[in-house]
């Protein structure tokens, strides 16, 4: 048995950042990662970076195969950089193996056919999430059936792509692959898109996607996949329709990756949703064992994983005051074309919470910058608390919204009145000056 000061399972955003911090503080750290293609975590290798690289190239008219090659080079470069950052640190030992708990404080590895046991006073679980596979009949192992991870490794653009699921992943891939020239069909059991978003914004998103040529089938579930020919499959839907495609994307969400961790050998508890249960400081039901990132449930964003690191770092080396409870507003963006970004709550949610609200609304086409960049699509909306003048939320569907939403988030965190953004002097012509009109509510 080998003893360390800390064991970290998973080389993702929170884990790698924490490993560097602990090692710099002279902790002896064991970093365990079962997949050498995942050094750096989900974002760098199979999610944010590769998909946004493809989105960027698609919008620039780069051929699909060339975009895939560039994506692979970007990922390889970042993966190598992340690996070296830890591998070259004298206080970090990297183990390439699946990790399984043997007890609350013992972790078992398989190395060169032999079993090795590590132990540490502090253990951190950062194993992320994995694709949620729906209960479909047929061959889900077909070479024409993909997850969001495997589809972006396909070298040839599918002529026809069927996407099961109309959530963030499904719509982002739909927009991206349509931009490259694929025929795209989205199948969703919901009767409308983006049910948690502002309805006017969601309707605008649907309009833009359909104008782009994306076919959306509402109120239907995929039931069975059948081989149609050498390069095609058929999807049988609950509404009686059949969809043919060269590739099928299973975009039905992601679930915490807890399988094979051996948690049954510990006192670590799971939530009803299969995530690792944690307290406000991310400690599990076993003392000095923490869970960070997607594996603990909740929002699955790399910047949440980074903020999880901040919580644990503050607990270990700071005043222990920063926690999940003190985490402020979290923005998010869906990189469709144009992108949709949101922070806070919608008008409907605000009214359900008892707020007396006012709304600001701006068509992107009415803003000068939109004409400069020749993209008039989209709608911006904000929600204000009439009693306090504080910003409750913003939904920005339009160009450059992933940058704009962070300005709104900062104002919300500072509890600034909406007039703070309304009355700012912005340079010109830029999208942020749209706030002069968007927040002109009274």
Query: What is the spatial distance between Cα 177 and Cα 325, in angstroms, rounded to a whole number?
Result: 39
Instruction: Tell me the DSSP string of 18-37.
Output: HHHHHHHTT--EEEE-S-GG
Is residue 198 within 8 Å of 218, Cβ to Cβ?
Answer: no
Residues contacting 45, CB < 8 A, separation 6+: 37, 38, 39, 75, 79
Measured CA distances, 305 to 41, 144, 301 (Å): 10, 32, 7
Catalytic residue, from 260, 281, 367, 428: name it: 428
Of 240, 179, 248, 178, nearest to 215 by C-alpha is: 178
What is the per-residue burial (b if ≥16 Cβ within 10 Å, else e) of 107-139?
bbbeeeeeeeebbbebbbbbbbbbbeeeebebe
Query: What is the spatial distance between Cα 305 and Cα 184, in angstroms, rounded to a whole number?
Result: 32
Residue that has been written with the tokens 């999807």 in this structure:
235
Is residue 292 within 8 Å of 124, Cβ to Cβ?
Answer: yes
DSSP 3-state of 121:
strand
Is residue 249 within 8 Å of 151, Cβ to Cβ?
Answer: yes
Of 395, 371, 370, nearest to 382 by C-alpha is: 395
Measured CA distances, 72 to 54, 84, 95, 150, 334 (Å): 10, 18, 24, 13, 22
Instruction: Name the E strands within 241-363.
Output: 242-245, 247-250, 254-256, 289-291, 332-334, 340-344, 357-363
- Residue 314, CB-side half-sphere exposure with 13 Å CA sphere: 17
Cα dihedral 295/13/174/208 (nearest 10): 110
Q: Is 215 a catalytic residue?
A: no
Measured CA distances, 354 to 43, 321, 342 (Å): 37, 30, 21
274 torsion bin: left (phi>0), alpha (psi -120 to 50), beta (else): left
Query: What is the spatial distance between Cα 80 and Cα 223, in angstroms, rounded to a whole number?
Result: 41
Task: Kindly list the catalytic residues.
Answer: 428
């Amino acid at each position: 048995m080998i003893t360390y000061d800390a064991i970290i399972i998973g080389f993702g955003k929170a884990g790698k950042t924490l490993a560097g911090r602990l090692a710099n503080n002279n902790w002896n750290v064991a970093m365990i990662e079962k997949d050498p293609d995942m050094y750096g975590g989900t974002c760098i290798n199979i999610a944010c970076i590769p998909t946004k690289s493809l989105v960027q190239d698609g919008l620039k008219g780069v051929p699909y195969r060339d975009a895939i090659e560039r994506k692979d080079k970007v990922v390889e470069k970042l993966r190598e950089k992340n690996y070296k950052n830890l591998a070259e640190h004298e206080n970090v030992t990297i183990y390439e193996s699946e990790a399984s708990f043997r007890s609350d404080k013992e972790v078992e590895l398989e190395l060169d056919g032999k079993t090795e046991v590590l132990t540490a006073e502090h253990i951190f679980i950062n194993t992320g999430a994995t694709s949620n596979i729906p209960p479909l009949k047929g061959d889900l192992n077909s070479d024409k059936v993909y997850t969001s991870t495997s589809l972006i490794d396909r070298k040839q653009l599918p002529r026809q792509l069927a996407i099961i699921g109309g959530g963030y992943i499904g719509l982002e891939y739909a927009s991206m692959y349509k931009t490259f020239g694929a025929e795209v069909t989205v199948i969703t059991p919901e009767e409308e898109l983006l049910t948690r978003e502002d309805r006017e914004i969601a309707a605008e998103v649907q309009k833009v996607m359909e104008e782009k040529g994306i076919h959306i089938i509402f109120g239907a579930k995929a039931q069975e996949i059948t081989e149609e020919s050498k390069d095609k499959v058929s999807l049988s839907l609950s509404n009686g329709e059949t969809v043919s495609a060269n590739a099928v994307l299973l975009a039905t969400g992601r679930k915490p990756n807890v399988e094979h961790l051996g948690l049954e050998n510990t006192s670590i508890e799971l939530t009803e949703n299969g995530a690792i249960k944690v307290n406000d400081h991310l400690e599990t039901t076993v003392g000095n064992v923490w869970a960070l990132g997607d594996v603990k449930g909740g929002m699955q964003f790399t910047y949440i994983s980074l903020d999880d690191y901040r919580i644990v770092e503050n607990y270990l080396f700071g005043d222990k005051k920063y926690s999940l409870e003190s985490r402020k507003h979290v923005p998010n963006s869906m990189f469709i074309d144009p992108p949709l970004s949101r922070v806070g709550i919608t008008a409907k949610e605000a009214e359900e919470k008892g707020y007396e609200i006012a709304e600001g609304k701006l068509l992107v086409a009415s803003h000068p910058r939109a004409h400069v960049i020749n993209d008039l699509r989209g709608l911006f909306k904000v929600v204000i608390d009439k009693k306090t003048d504080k910003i409750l939320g913003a939904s920005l569907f339009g160009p450059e919204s992933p940058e704009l939403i962070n300005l709104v988030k900062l104002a919300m965190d500072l509890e600034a009145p909406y007039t703070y953004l309304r009355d700012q002097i912005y340079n010109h012509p830029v999208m942020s000056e749209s706030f002069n009109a968007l927040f002109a509510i009274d």
